[in-house]
């Protein structure tokens, strides 16, 4: 396991005990945790490879308490990291050892539902799936559906701009929210966006979404609700090689079909998932595609014919169509449980989140296979193929000396291959601490300087989630000096776009 060592070493002049004493009157003694046994459950988020223990964990119960906590911390130079359900996979909610962890799990109420305008106002601690459950009887649902939707909170979804298996057609979090209420670093409450299609001025709603807790603390979210589609069917196609499956993904989109979801899994993830969930996956296939089509019954029937034809021309060995809703859900149950399934076959795994152009799927999968052999670490691939969002899972054993460091290096190489192919280093998990070095590969000094200027406009002292998401220019200079060899282009065999 690695210890979190951020670029910025911010330390308040207050002693830890004095910070706790000042926060107890704000939220009550029961909601300020500071003993070692109380802090241990909060030392990491879903990316458990990195750990850090905060000075204290604070659990406010109202917006007013959040404002006052932020005022106290700002006035005394105490760093603050906001946390939702802790399911994040990039270390974005990893505590800062000289600051407090502001946990919003008590903000768990749906405040209002407006079916006429198809929106709901929710607190940030509401679970993603709970929104759809609350409006199901109205024929509505909330579209973004991360695999962790049964547990992840909407505030964390906003911080990381989460997606899910249906983001290809319905978009990421940023496309499915209308307004935010945010508490600034100095304790002021501001609102961005609104219950309209557009607002004048800068698009601060988009800026806040995906900002990873660096600009403010989200305390309320207005989400869009969509009508449930009249019909939804899923096709499960198997392939004898991953390159053909990758080409099929691009061919489906090129044919003018926009699936609700288009997911791909390779053989190691198929085998692990089938053993765990028994979804009926063909365990001898090199890769499978799950393609969901939704809309009116007539529209879906027409698209099924189109997609079947594309899959056949792409070389699918077998294509199955869900006969009923139960079978459609069973197809998806394997994909939704792929991460825990892989966790059963390895002591540890490291989840990567990179995005590439769809046409590069085949070459990138070949490069991942090559890198897997080079580093001696198995990789299972599960990803949102429709929008090119890869989730390679690197299997390793943290108890073996040096194996995590080798895993971390392999993960970085995979992300850099995504950049070389014309892609990016994250599609939905955020940068956090996991990908901060690869930000130096993706962006130059001029872009990073602008990111720091935006950060300074909201948080001039750098107290919000310090050391995350945006590296310092000094860090990038050091990383690039060690990492770039003779100015050569990395990954020369990858097709560029």
Q: How confident is the model at residue 489, as a pLDDT? A: 41
**What digits encode the pLDDT tens for the residues 194-246?**
987 777 889 999 999 999 999 999 999 999 999 999 999 999 999 999 989 99
- Same-domain check for residues 477 and 354: yes
pLDDT exceeds cutoff 70 at 485 = no
Q: Which domain holds residue 317?
A: 231-341
Q: How confident is the model at residue 13, as a pLDDT? A: 74
- Same-domain check for residues 270 and 223: no
Q: Looking at 341, 356, 378, which one is the last position of a domain?
A: 341
Q: Which two tokens stand for residue 166?
A: 């249906």
- Same-domain check for residues 235 and 313: yes
CA–CA separation, 41 and 154 (whole Å)? 21
Q: How confident is the model at residue 14, as a pLDDT? A: 81
Provide, rounded to the nearest whole percent, the portion of the chain with pLDDT above 90: 88
Q: How confident is the model at residue 486, as a pLDDT? A: 40
- Same-domain check for residues 212 and 282: no
Average pLDDT of the segment spanning 393-401: 96
- Same-domain check for residues 331 and 356: no
**What digits encode the pLDDT tens for the residues 168-199?**
999 999 999 999 999 999 999 999 999 877 77
Q: How confident is the model at residue 359, as a pLDDT? A: 84
- Strand blocks (E) in 301-453: 318-321, 348-351, 354-355, 379-384, 389-396
- Same-domain check for residues 257 and 362: no
Q: How confident is the model at residue 7, as a pLDDT? A: 67
Does a structural domain hold residue 497?
no
Q: Report the predicted TM-score, pTM, of the whole model to 2 decimal places.
A: 0.93
* Mean residue pLDDT across the chain: 93
CA–CA separation, 457 and 52 (whole Å)? 28
Indicate which CATH number applies to the domain containing 303.
3.30.70.2190
| Contact partners, residue 163, CB within 8 Å, separation at least 6 | 144, 146, 172, 173, 384, 387, 389, 427, 428
Does a structural domain hold residue 290?
yes
Q: How confident is the model at residue 82, as a pLDDT? A: 98
- Same-domain check for residues 364 and 461: yes
- Same-domain check for residues 170 and 296: no
Does a structural domain hold residue 301?
yes
Average pLDDT of the segment spanning 273-284: 95
**What digits encode the pLDDT tens for the residues 257-275?**
999 999 999 999 999 999 9
Indicate which CATH number applies to the domain containing 182.
3.30.465.10
- Same-domain check for residues 216 and 236: no
Q: How many domains does the chain have?
A: 4
Does a structural domain hold residue 40?
yes
**What digits encode the pLDDT tens for the residues 27-83?**
999 999 999 999 999 999 998 889 999 999 999 999 999 999 999 999 999 999 999
For 205-209, the CB contacts below 8 A with 24+ separation are 205/174, 205/177, 205/178, 205/179, 205/180, 206/174, 207/454, 208/158, 208/180, 208/182, 209/158, 209/161, 209/173, 209/174, 209/177, 209/180
CA–CA separation, 300 and 232 (whole Å)? 7
Q: How confident is the model at residue 416, as a pLDDT? A: 97
Does a structural domain hold residue 444?
yes
- Same-domain check for residues 265 and 204: no
Does a structural domain hold residue 255?
yes
Average pLDDT of the segment spanning 453-457: 97
Q: Looking at 76, 103, 130, which one is the last position of a domain?
A: 103
- Same-domain check for residues 222 and 238: no
Does a structural domain hold residue 489?
no
Q: Looking at 103, 138, 167, which one is the last position of a domain?
A: 103
């Amino acid at each position: 396991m690695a210890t979190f060592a951020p670029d910025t070493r911010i330390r308040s002049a207050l002693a830890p005990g004095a910070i706790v004493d000042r926060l107890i009157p704000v939220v009550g003694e029961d909601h300020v945790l500071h003993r070692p046994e109380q802090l241990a459950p909060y030392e990491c988020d879903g990316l458990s490879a990195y750990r850090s223990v905060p000075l204290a964990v604070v659990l406010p119960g109202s917006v007013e308490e959040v404002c006052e906590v932020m005022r106290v911390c700002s006035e005394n130079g105490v760093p603050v990291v906001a946390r939702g359900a802790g399911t994040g996979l990039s270390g974005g909610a990893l505590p800062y050892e000289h600051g407090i962890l502001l946990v919003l799990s008590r903000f768990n109420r749906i405040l209002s539902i407006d079916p006429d305008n198809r929106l709901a106002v929710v607190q940030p601690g509401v679970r993603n799936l709970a929104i759809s459950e609350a409006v199901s009887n109205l024929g509505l649902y909330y579209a973004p559906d991360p695999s962790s939707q049964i547990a992840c909170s909407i505030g964390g979804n906003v911080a990381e701009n989460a997606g899910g298996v249906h983001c290809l057609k319905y978009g990421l979090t940023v496309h499915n929210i209308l307004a935010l209420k945010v508490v600034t670093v100095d304790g002021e409450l501001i609102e961005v966006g609104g219950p309209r299609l557009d607002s004048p001025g800068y698009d601060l709603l988009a800026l806040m979404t995906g900002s990873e807790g660096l600009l403010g603390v989200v305390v309320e979210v207005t989400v869009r609700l969509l009508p449930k589609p009249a019909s939804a069917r899923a096709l499960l196609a198997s392939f004898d090689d991953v390159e053909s499956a990758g080409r099929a993904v691009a061919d489906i989109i090129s044919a003018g079909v926009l699936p609700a979801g288009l997911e791909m899994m390779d053989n190691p993830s198929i085998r692990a998932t089938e053993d765990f969930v028994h979804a009926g996956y063909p365990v001898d296939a090199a890769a499978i595609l799950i393609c969901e089509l939704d809309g009116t019954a007539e529209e879906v029937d027409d698209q099924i014919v189109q997609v079947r034809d594309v899959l056949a021309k792409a070389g699918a060995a077998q294509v199955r169509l869900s006969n009923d809703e139960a079978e459609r859900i069973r197809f998806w149950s394997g994909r939704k449980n792929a991460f825990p399934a892989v966790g059963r076959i390895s002591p540890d795994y490291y989840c990567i989140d990179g995005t590439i152009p769809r046409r590069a799927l085949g070459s990138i999968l070949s490069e991942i296979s090559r890198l897997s052999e080079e580093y001696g670490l198995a990789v299972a691939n599960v990803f949102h193929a429709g929008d090119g969002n890869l989730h390679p899972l690197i299997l390793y054993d943290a108890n073996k000396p040096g194996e995590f460091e080798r895993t971390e290096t392999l993960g970085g190489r995979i992300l850099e291959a995504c950049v070389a192919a014309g892609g990016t280093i994250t599609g939905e998990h955020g940068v956090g601490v996991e990908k901060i070095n690869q930000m130096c590969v993706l962006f130059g000094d001029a872009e990073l300087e602008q990111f720091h200027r935006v950060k300074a406009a909201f948080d001039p002292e750098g107290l919000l989630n310090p050391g995350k998401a945006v590296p310092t220019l000094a860090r990038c200079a050091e990383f690039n000096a060690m990492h770039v060899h003779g100015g050569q282009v990395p990954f020369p065999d990858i097709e560029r776009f």
